[in-house]
Amino acid sequence: MKVPVLLHGAPAFTLAVTSARSKLEARARRYTQSRESLVEYSLTQFFKEAERYRP
């Protein structure tokens, strides 16, 4: 998202905002992937344990 700024140095400010946003998006993506991996691992462990007690 580009923020319109009517000040001297606007391109640098816009670049900084864009860079900060990219970092936040990358951080959110890593967090989501981490949580998905944790859920996947937990489900795998659950089904392995359930398999042990299957009649």
The structure's pTM equals 0.60
Determine the pLDDT at residue 47. Answer: 95
Please report whether residue 33 resides in a domain.
Answer: yes
CB 50 within 8 A of CB 42: no
Q: Please indicate, yes or no, if residue 4 is contained in any of the structural domains.
A: no
The residue to which tokens 């905002």 are assigned:
17
- DSSP H or E segment with residue 49: helix 10-52
What is the arithmetic mean of pLDDT over 46-55? 91
Number of domains in the chain: 1
In a domain, 30, yes or no: yes
Query: In terms of pLDDT, which residue wins out, 21 or 38?
Result: 38
Distance CA 16, CA 10 (A): 10
Dihedral Cα 13, 14, 16, 22, nearest 10 deg: 170
The reply to whether 10 falls in a domain is no
Q: Which tokens in the block code for residue 35?
A: 């949580």
The pair of three-digit structure tokens given for residue 39, joined into one six-digit string: 């859920």
Answer whether residue 8 is part of any domain. no
The pLDDT of 20-47, averaged and rounded, is: 94
